[in-house]
Chains A and B, each alone.
Chain A
Amino acid sequence: MNFFELAWSILPALLRGTVVTLEITGISISIGFILGILLALGRIYGNKSIYIVATTYVEVIRGTPLLTQLFLLYFGLPSIGIMLSPFLAAIIGMGLNSGAYQAEYFRGAIQAVKSGQMMAARSVGMNKFKAVRYIILPQMLRLVIPSWSNELIYLVKYSSLAYMIQAPELMAQGKVIAAKNFRTFEVFIVVAFIYLVIVLILSKILDILEKRIRIPGLQTQAV
């Protein structure tokens, strides 16, 4: 059959894989979000030991490949008796990884919020916690949108690495199909196309979101 017939016939299987891809991405970015905020706040407002721990974590994660981190979780942990399923290893690995990068974006965005804001918040009697929660974070979240959108798109693309630890996402489905029909190149053209479509749609949605949340006068660039 020709290329289009092939593409049509493999689409259902690929879409099953796509669902897993999106699940992995969604869960990982959420884990990363919570971890990232904690790390960022720790680095800015925490005491010396918290700062050191957080900074070390961020530097180490950012200094090593995601693939290595996934391998450590999936192939390495069994050495000390911890067996993770591919899906679990994928979301933990990517979540921990994304957390380190999001920490940096949040940190940059917090620092971009004018220092006067914190001073003003304290001057009306808010303690540090309240000031961060009601004044700093809301502004920071708006400033960080471009970087965060970038991170989401990045995760969609790099979820493909979960294939290497045997997670049944889009890449894996592609490989399974190719192993059966030997038309690897064409299969992966379709896979590439699916990623392209996801990325395009996601970018558009994030764009619209950014415009909706914009506060007049408050720039949406993190610096």
Chain B
Amino acid sequence: MSEMILKVEDIHKNYRELEVLKGISFEVKRGETKVVIGPSGTGKSTLLRCINQLTPPDKGRVWLDGVKITDPKVDINKIRSSIGMVFQDFNLFAHLTALNNVRIGLMKVKEMEKREATDLAMEELRRVGLGDKTSSYPAELSGGQQQRVSIARALAMNPKLILFDEPTSALDPELIGEVLEVMINLAKEGMTMLVVSHEMGFARSVANEIIFMEHGVIIEEGAPQQLFTKPKHKRTGEFLHKITELYGESGK
């Protein structure tokens, strides 16, 4: 069992003329929770999508648990079923109930038997606190509930790593807590997580390491304590100061 779940090396991505990612490299160890912070529009979401190849990077390599997933010969669908992704806009399948949303990956991608898939799906929904909402449709659920279902959907696939793309940014303030709670529990249970977020409280208390990104490069990387109290770069300090002012330390 290797220590390194995710290794990202020299990722570059251009959109037309604009270079969004200018050579990103970092690693995520098994069981680690890494939070990526930085000003909006600096390529954080693009980075996540480059990792599971939803957006293929222009340059660079990614390894998942030792397998080089940027290799063209690799079956990317198989890889994606081992990486979970939670989107800012939830992206629950609109025509399926909560149960079916969680179940469909199991039945149609992992080709599980219906009974087994149902049991597993129910378990994951209970785990995120929505055991009683299995027959609800996404449009009938609140934002926080939808996001939790989407986490259950990712969890059901038994991923090696979950990517969170600003999971609480589209939520009403009072619903952020329920989602963060689920994420905190996941971190405690040892899930490997890479989270892009503005939630400084979460970053400060749960992250093993924080990555500060700006303009497509990593400015600084380190333990939360260190970044918050003794940042190596001026920019890091400025940003953290501003954002803690703005958002407070919610989500504890």
Let me know if chains A and B touch directly in the complex, using CB atoms closer than 8 Å.
no
Which residues of A are in contact with B by a Cβ distance under 8 Å? none
